[in-house]
């Protein structure tokens, strides 16, 4: 199949880019019918920029500090996304809160991955907070982005056990291994037109999702 028929992605990063690399790998090995049109970083220090180059991906820096404020930054970001020809915006460790106008502009066409079992632990420091709350299970969620932070409809979650003696780092590493599985999987479903958002309802294979899908060791349930 031609490159043009692949779902074009703009992957937005602020950090080391391990999710971006997992998505790139899924594209490059034909596990999903998508391609990364551009990796966009909001800070020059993002380690993921060098990683993206190594993977042969086009990158662009839209540095937050180069703009007068949130509105000017978001305008530049939208210009970069649209110029890349992206059909889906993939937030992959993108550490900027986006306005509801921006979310509206890409409604149904913007995903995020959050390192917690939403609606638990929205926001930052999720692993520390899960440990403090003595959760026995933790995990990650892929969701559509809406105007409210980490509150858009959840598509797929991975549940991960919290082990005795876990630290935020050990828990984060365990969760990330699952992030790298579930994020490409959801993007693959969108590329295959199996998944869409209508209003605030997610449809999977034309059926409304009443609760998030659960990825357990590669098997979908329910």
3-state secondary structure of 159: strand
Largest CA distance in the chain: 49
Asked if 16 touches ligand GRF (CB under 6 A), the answer is: yes
Stretch that binds ligand GRF, among 8-16, 24-32, 72-80, 146-154 (CB under 6 A): 8-16
Asked if 145 touches ligand GRF (CB under 6 A), the answer is: no
Cα separation, 72 vs 44, in Å, equals: 18
State which residue, 37 or 175, has the beta carbon closest to ligand GRF.
Answer: 175
Can you say whether the dihedral through the CA atoms of 16, 196, 110, 121 is positive or negative? negative
State which residue, 17 or 108, has the beta carbon closest to ligand GRF.
Answer: 17
State which residue, 13 or 27, has the beta carbon closest to ligand GRF.
Answer: 13
Please confirm, yes or no, whether 25 is among the known catalytic residues: no
The one catalytic residue among 114, 138, 143, 178: 114
Peptide linkage before 222 cis (omega within 30 of 0): yes
Cα separation, 51 vs 166, in Å, equals: 28
195: tokens are 């998944």
Which residues 77-136 are close enough to bind ligand GRF by CB under 6 A? 92-93, 113-115
Residues that bind ligand GRF (CB under 6 A): 13, 15-19, 48, 92-93, 113-115, 140, 176, 179
The catalytic residues are 114
């Amino acid at each position: 199949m031609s490159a043009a028929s692949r779902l074009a992605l703009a992957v937005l990063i602020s950090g080391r880019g391990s999710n971006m690399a997992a998505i790139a790998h899924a594209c490059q090995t034909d596990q999903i019918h998508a391609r990364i049109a551009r990796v966009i970083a909001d800070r020059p220090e993002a380690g993921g920029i060098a990683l993206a180059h190594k993977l042969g991906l086009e990158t662009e820096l839209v540095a937050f500090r180069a703009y007068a404020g949130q509105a000017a930054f978001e305008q530049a970001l939208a210009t970069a996304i649209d110029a890349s020809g992206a059909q889906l915006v993939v937030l992959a460790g993108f550490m900027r809160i986006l306005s509801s106008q921006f979310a509206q502009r890409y409604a149904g066409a913007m995903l995020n991955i959050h390192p917690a079992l939403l609606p638990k632990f929205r926001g930052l420091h999720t692993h520390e907070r899960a440990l403090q709350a003595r959760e026995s299970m933790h995990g990650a969620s892929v969701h559509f982005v809406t105007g409210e932070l980490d509150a858009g409809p959840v598509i797929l979650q991975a549940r991960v056990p919290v082990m005795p003696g876990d630290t935020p780092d050990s828990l984060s590493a365990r969760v990330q291994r699952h992030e790298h599985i579930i994020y490409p999987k959801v993007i693959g479903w969108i590329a295959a037109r199996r998944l869409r958002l209508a209003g605030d309802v997610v449809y999977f294979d034309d059926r409304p999702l009443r609760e998030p899908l659960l990825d357990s060791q590669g098997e979908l349930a329910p």
